[in-house]
Structure 1
Amino acid sequence: MLLRGGAESLSVCCGHCAPAAERRRWRRKRGRLGVVTLAGDGSPLRFEILGRPAAWRDGRELDLGPGKQRAVLAVLLLSPNRPVPTSSIVEAVWGDEPPDNGANVVQKYVAGLRRVLEPERSPRSPGRLLTLTGAGYALRVPPEGLDAEIFQDRVREAHAVRAAGDPARAEALLRDALSGWRGTALAGLNGSFFEAARGRLDEERAAALEACAEIGLELGEHARLVPELIRLVAEYPLREGFRYLLMLALYRCGRQAEALAAYRDARDFFADEFGVEPGERLQTLHVGILRADPALAAPPAPADTPPADDLPEPAGTGAAAGFAPPDPPAAAPVRAEHVPATMVAAHPAAAGQPWPGVPVVGPAPAIGWPPPQAPARRRYPWAVRTGLILAPLLSFGALTWAEVAYFAARRRSGTLGLMSVGYLVMTVVFFYGAAATDPEATGWWDVPMMFSVFVTTLGGGVHLALITAEPSSPPDGPAGLSEAAVDVALIERRVRRDQARSLVAHHPAVARELRIGRPDLARTFDDGGLVDVNAAPEHVLAALPGLDPYHAKLIVLARTAHGPLPSVDDLAVREILPFHTVHALRETLIAVPPEA
């Protein structure tokens, strides 16, 4: 018979052929190798709870019986080698609806488990694997006999190896530990007890995954980790650690804009769900990416790594496959024309050198006011478009003004609003004339009536055909630019806003000199369309989407009477604006501290 445990193997003929002392020595050896031996049977037995609870012998899964019996086994496996009181088993398995004879039912299920786990045991003999003590039932599980304990042991060993300075072996141990998971822990078992245990085990798994990803970044495996981290962020959206590692991996791959977009997604998620900002660690990394902090660069390759030319290329990679390693992240250069001439003497950085501790940007496309929150034009299905065009014809122009007014409100277009008023006036003229004149007689009133019905019917149909026509260029984008080009422009705008915010946070005097957040003033520095709540005039604030003159006046009065706002969130804290409005304008508003 061949017994295996870990990396060892042992070959014996039969335990009954040896003397008693020799048999005891072999039993101790089998216990160290993680083998559970049964009376009269030398077959190994192992248990699993990192997935659906299961028991295996000789590579064959055992039939654990009905669901409640499997749940009783899971309760015992969550406290291996320790007695569990019968009352605790009843509470864990049945919760708030225990059976009348709970102790007898548990005894029945324990007897069923004994028949499955110890088939060679005689009915009247006491159990050796599942025993009854004065404190309750205990399931004997030796080392390496339970997948959860194996996982925890491997994780502890990996942390010790990592602390000893061997990250490569630590990563291998963590991946080996994580490979033991077969799905959701304790799958198929319901109740508060199992939910709590499942949450505890899942937290251990998430911590191991995070540690494994951290070690991978230490080893320079950022390109390989990006897809895995994207999946982990979706699986564990509340863990900031995975978002941190994803941003760092993207940055080290030369994907700075995507790293900043990942931070913005995290900020939006936490604001929407809990009304809070990301943690300090994420915010510090965000600032570091904006500043192109050298400390965030990928670690150097190990000294004993052979040159790249001497390494064999895997199949399907290399230049033949169109693969090129990512360029190191770098900030775009700034030019002197982006800084006012008055700053050159006081700040030599305006002459072409970067600002101290702040990334600088190159020339941006002309991005004017208002900011990009204006609603975009949409593409209408042909059936909807046909119905919108035929409505003026079928209603003899009576619905034209309403349709144009709808598009005016949707696009916030004053021109369309005036046109809808004109259509309404002509509709009133037609119906008033039809009611006030004799249909049998012809008079001067027939001319404006015919003109009104012609314009509202035929002209309205043509007008709506033009309004609902598919745009020749993307919404709010320059004519001739593709959608990809507009996306790049929007990303550049976001990056410039983040860079302007970094200037405000670290160099407020420079931010004030560059007039960040003041679209009403002439300036050459592009801040991406930010608006300073501490300095922007009332009419600029009132022009923001979602704000009206009343709230704009409240902002001006609040900063005048109670002092400048330390942050944009103070608009909600002081109850000047509702929180949802502040959140909607978070990308546009900024609070620049005034000059002391």
Structure 2
Amino acid sequence: MEDSVRFELLGPLRAYRGRQELELGPARQQAVLATLLLAANHAVPASEIVDQVWGDEPPANGANVVQKYIAGLRRVLEPDRLPRAAGQLLTLTPAGYQLSVAPGGSDLDVFTAHVGEARRLRALGCRAEATAELRTGLGLWRSEPLAGLTGGYFDATRAQLAGDRAAALEEWAELELEQGREQALLPELSRLIAEYPRRQRLRAVHLLALYRTGRQADALTSYQQALQLVGGRPSPELEAAYRQILQNDRPPPAPVVDAEPVLTHYWPEPASAPLGWKGWTLKVAAGLLPSATMGIAAAPLIGGLAIRRRSWKLGLAALGYLVSSIVFFTIADKRVDTEDFVLIDAVAMTGLLLSTVLAGLQAAWLVPARTTGTAQPRVMVDLNSAPEQVLRTLPGIPPMHAVLIIAERNARGPFRSLEDAVARGMFPSPVPRQIADVVLVIPVQDAPKEERR
């Protein structure tokens, strides 16, 4: 709406009605507004406002002072409110003062929404769209959040918001790296490393960007600098990046965009084989069984096949055969020598004969179980030979985890089995279905350590 009020916290505190910036008054009044904004749409007791705005130096009559600043904010935010009329935007509830802010009514809300959408898109594999969302959200930051407001509460809030921004920057950098833009990313990464020297996830991206642009020595230097800052305790992301850099048996991997897996193994499904005399005997027996039992065996036979094949269509057919048998035998037990009932009996007999014949044909077709007759290759990737570019394309394996798999394989040798990969911490137990369906382990002949190097 044109007259709605929107707020900006990601920099000096500001408020706008349409395009007009509002005059928010003295610093204490702005601090009261900031406190209410950070708890938007929730009531804040006057005592809590005093603690957060004045800290260890509260005014003598804190509740009255807060009330004075609330009145000043109402004049600014709701200039058309009649005297003594209840506020619509800034209200007093039994639990305290509450500032009502519509969804997207503050730049902090908008930033949070963009980051959440970016994470959702990244989980779906939409890297370009996720990157755009993060860029938009990060573009809302004008300077230090709530700049100019002093006190322990606002210092802690600024630190928390700075952490949120740093996490968004880390995700943005990882997405840029995943899309092969490490060369263009490096200048911004160097600036961010200087701004957030202790953020190990960001440092890991920096290491990999240096490594993939041929600057392996600079990457190792950056790693040593990070170790000094964190007391020699690297995070899993930083350690995985370092272990990849130590792989001197191949050059840094080139960017791969929309690449198809290049190292796969095809396991064809078995083609159909001749039935043989046993198969034909079983087929004939299944086809004659419904007729030999006057339709009684039709429903159990087709029902069993439905359960075995997990087919709801076969289940419906079995139900139909069961209903046909019940109807016929119910009428047969109550024969009446009149023309009407003779006609009904004939119809029931015809229905039973048809269902018996259909059940026999269906059973003969389905028994014995047959293969498709055409080989359908199933693509599997060998964990011992697949390069990082291929592992990154597999479902359930994030890019940084692909790095860890390669590092583990080079450091401790090939995997002996999928269970061995689980024991070495590569996958959870049990292995998720989406991974087990595409990954296999072809054991490598034991070789001396010198050869493995």
Q: Please, what TM-score do these two structures have when normalized by structure 1?
A: 0.43
1:266 aligns with 2:222: no
1:207 pairs with 2:200: no
Give the alignment partner of residue 201 of structure 2, picking from 232, 237, 241.
241
Please name the residue that 2:210 is paired with: 250
Q: Deviations over 1:134-153 (max 9, x none)?
A: 00000010011111111111
Matched to 2:243, the amino acid is V
What's 1:63 paired with? 23
How many Å separate the matches in 2 of 1:203 and 1:277? 20
The secondary structure found in structure 1 opposite 2:125 is coil
Please give the root-mean-square deviation of Cα atoms over the aligned residues, in Å.
2.4
Choose the corresponding residue for 1:283, options 217, 233, 239: 239
Shift of 1:126: 1.2
Q: What is the correspondence of 1:148-163 to structure 2 with a 5 Å cutoff?
A: 148-163=108-123
Q: Where does residue 173 of structure 1 map in the other structure?
A: 133
Task: State how far apart, in whole Å, the 1-side matches of 2:249 and 2:76 are.
Answer: 61
Q: Is the 8 A contact 2:11 2:144 kept in 1?
A: yes
Deviation at 1:282, TM superposition (A): 2.2
Displacement of 1:283 in angstroms is 3.0
Contact 1:248 1:296 in 2 (8 A): no
Q: Is the 8 A contact 1:226 1:249 kept in 2?
A: yes
How big is the shift at 1:293?
A: 6.9
Q: State yes or no: 1:88 paired with 2:48.
A: yes
Alpha-carbon distance in 1 for matches of 2:248, 2:135:
32
Aligned equivalents of 1:127, 1:293: Cα separation in 2: 71
Q: 2:178 aligns with which of 209, 218, 226?
A: 218
Take 2:251 and 2:133, find their aligned partners in 1: how far apart are those partners? 28
The structural deviation recorded for 1:195 is 1.6
Q: Which of 127, 134, 154 in structure 1 is aligned with 2:87?
A: 127
Equivalent-residue separation in structure 2 for 1:237 and 1:215 (angstroms): 20
How far the C-alpha of 1:241 sits from its partner, in A, is 1.0
CA deviation after TM superposition for structure 1 residue 238, in Å: 1.1
Cα distance in 2 for residues equivalent to 1:168 and 1:199: 29
2:62 is equivalent to residue 106 of structure 1:
no
Conserved? CA contact 2:55–2:152, under 8 Å: yes
In the alignment, what sits opposite 2:360?
none
TM superposition shift of 1:123: 1.9
Q: State the alpha-carbon separation in 1 of the partners of residues 154 and 210 from structure 2.
A: 37
Deviations 1:512-537 (A, max 9, x none): xxxxxxxxxxxxxxxxxxxxxxxxxx
Structure 2 alignment gaps of length 5 or more: 261-408, 412-447
**Compared CA separation, residues 163 and 294, structure 1 to 2 (3 A):** farther
By how many angstroms is 1:65 displaced?
0.3
- 8 Å CA contact 1:48–1:55 kept in 2: the answer is yes
CA distance in 2, matches of 1:195, 1:84: 19
| Cα distance in 2 for residues equivalent to 1:255 and 1:167 | 26
Superposed CA deviations along residues 336-390 of structure 1, whole A, max 9, x for unmatched, are: xxxxxxxxxxxxxxxxxxxx958xxxxxxxxxxxxxxxxxxxxxxxxxxxxxxxx
Letter of the structure 2 residue corresponding to residue 177 of structure 1 = G
Whether the 8 Å contact between 2:213 and 2:252 is mirrored in structure 1 is: no
For 1:113 and 1:86, locate their aligned partners in 2 and report how far apart those are by CA, in whole Å.
15
Determine if contact 2:146/2:154 at 8 Å carries over to the other structure.
yes
Q: Report the Cα distance in structure 1 between the residues aligned to 2:10 and 2:41, rounded to whole angstroms.
A: 18
CA distance in 2, matches of 1:76, 1:175: 28
Q: Tell me if structure 2 keeps the 8 A contact 1:150–1:177.
A: yes
Contact 1:288 1:296 in 2 (8 A): no
- CA shift digits 1:206-246 (9 cap, x unpaired): 11000000000111110111011111111111111111110
SS at match of 2:159: helix
Shift of 1:278: 2.8
Structure 1 CA distance, aligned partners of 2:81 and 2:136?
Answer: 35
Show the counterpart of 1:302.
Answer: 258
Conserved 8 A contact 2:227-2:234? yes
Once the two structures are TM-superposed, the CA of residue 188 in structure 1 deviates from its matched residue by 1.0
Q: What is the aligned partner in structure 2 of residue 5 from structure 1?
A: none
Offset at residue 47 of structure 1 (A): 0.3
The answer (yes or no) to whether the contact 2:198–2:226 under 8 Å persists in 1 is no
Structure 1 CA distance, aligned partners of 2:115 and 2:132?
Answer: 10
SS in 2 for 1:265: helix
Q: Which residue is equivalent to 1:456?
A: none
**Counterpart in 2 of 1:503?**
none
How far 1:269 sits from its partner (Å)? 3.1
1:229 equivalent to 2:189? Answer yes
Equivalent residues, number: 267
User: SS in structure 2 opposite 1:149?
Assistant: helix
Q: TM-score, normalised by structure 2?
A: 0.56
Q: Do the aligned partners of residues 279 and 162 (structure 1) sit closer, same or farther apart at CA in structure 2, a change above 3 Å counting?
A: closer
Partners of 1:93 and 1:138 in 2: CA distance: 16
Residue 220 of structure 1 aligns to a residue in which SS? coil
Give the SS at the match of 2:79: coil
Cα distance in 2, alignment partners of residues 160 and 293 from structure 1: 37
Q: Give the Cα–Cα distance (whole angstroms) in 1 for the partners of residues 80 and 176 of structure 2.
A: 48
- Matches of residues 349-364 of structure 1 in structure 2 within 5 Å? 357=410
> What is the alpha-carbon distance in structure 1 between the residues aligned to residue 254 and residue 25 of structure 2?
53
**What corresponds to 1:54 in structure 2?**
14
Q: Secondary structure at the match of 2:98?
A: strand
Give secondary structure in 1 for the equivalent of 2:158.
Answer: helix
Matched residue type, 2:6 = R
Output the CA distance in 1 between the equivalents of 2:254 and 2:47.
55
Supply the distance in 2 between the matched residues of 1:207 and 1:195 (Cα, whole angstroms): 19
Contact 2:45–2:95 (Cα < 8 Å) also in 1: yes
Q: 1:357 to 1:43 in 2, by over 3 A?
A: closer
CA–CA distance in structure 2, aligned partners of residues 226 and 111 of structure 1? 51
1:243 partner SS: helix
CA distance in 2, matches of 1:173, 1:144: 15
Residue 48 of structure 1 aligns with an amino acid whose one-letter code is E
Q: Distance in 2 between matches of 1:156 and 1:298?
A: 30
SS in 1 for 2:92: strand
Which of the residues 115, 118, 134 maps onto 2:78?
118
Structure 1 moving runs of 4+ over 3 Å: 292-296
SS in 2 for 1:142: coil
User: Aligned partners of 2:187 and 2:216: how far apart in 1?
Assistant: 16
| Secondary structure of 1:175's aligned partner | helix
Corresponding residue to 1:192 among 148, 152, 155: 152
2:107 counterpart residue number: 147
2:290 match:
none
Q: Distance in 1 between matches of 2:225 and 2:157?
A: 31
Change (3 A) 1:102 1:290: same
